[in-house]
Amino acid sequence: MILGAHVSIAGGVSNAPLNAQKLGINAFQIFTKNQNRWKDKPLEPAEVEKYLANCESCDIRRTVAHSAYLINLCTTDNGKLKMSRNAFLDEMMRAEQLRIPYLVMHPGSHLGAGESEGIRLIAESLRMLFNQQPDGKVRVLLETTAGQGTNLGYRFEQMAELIELIDCDARVGVCLDTCHIFAAGYDIRTPDAYEATIAEFDRVVGLDRLYVFHFNDSRRELGSRIDRHEHLGNGKIGVEPFKLFVQDPRFTDLPGLIETPGDMEDFAGNLDILRGLEGEK
């Protein structure tokens, strides 16, 4: 597995590869703009070129973008739905500029409209956006969620239904977050539980649609449906399940990205844990 982390773009996106290099990693995830704003200034061509040059010089093997948290492609507010669609199109275009192959997104929150209606509207939104960018190469990855509130994507069946309704296999995939699936009720704490959950994902969604992992422990218990990330080994999941992931030959060459709380120093500690697990018998 190619280990990495979510890194900062403070001072410009070109700093992301340099931050990754400081952590000794060759895979990273970034926000391509301020994640708490609907709009941001366009990427400057010189900054894009600098970013690409730094990726090459830092030997970056995998890059992933994450969309802004404000975006909700199934909101019941028509004004915010239009803003969300426009903002996500901008995210797709930024990823294209930076030659980032994957754009991770939280599927959306139905806000009381019901899960079926929310899933329908997410699929409609993404079909519309793909039609507006017919030559796009970025693959949108639906991230598994904890199911907190009215968030969708907490059951593998919902992911499968979304993929079927979007009906564009070349542009869609899945990002699996360990904290989120655990909070949603999928146990991974023992080898048997891990194998059962991976088998269930394969049966319902398909391992061929899995492109990225987010590695986080969980502050809350199994099935809590509360999304609270924790440092590896300090939460309810524990360290051992992450050994199962990083040593699983089915996931060779997939990026496993840290999203634990804290700063670069904290990320370094969690990455050291993963590196240690890779070499354990």
Grade residue 151 by pLDDT with cuts at 50, 70 and 90. very high
> Regarding the domain with residue range 2-34+42-279, which homologous superfamily does it belong to in the CATH classification?
Divalent-metal-dependent TIM barrel enzymes (3.20.20.150)
Grade residue 36 by pLDDT with cuts at 50, 70 and 90. confident
Q: Provide DSSP, 182-200.
A: HHHT---SSHHHHHHHHHH
pLDDT tops 90 at residue 230: yes
The answer to whether 9 and 41 have CB atoms below 8 angstroms apart is no
pTM: 0.97
pLDDT tens digits, one per residue of 84-114: 999 999 999 999 999 999 999 999 999 999 9
Residue carrying structure tokens 């049966």 = 203
pLDDT tens digits, one per residue of 235-281: 999 999 999 999 999 999 999 999 999 988 899 999 999 999 998 87
Least Cα distance to 203 among 157, 245, 170 occurs for 157
The answer to whether 140 and 173 have CB atoms below 8 angstroms apart is yes
Instruction: From residue 83, give the alpha-carbon distance in Å to each of 73, 103, 118.
Output: 9, 18, 17
Instruction: From residue 48, give the alpha-carbon distance in Å to each of 7, 24, 54, 279.
Output: 17, 22, 10, 36
- For 215-224, what is the mean pLDDT? 98
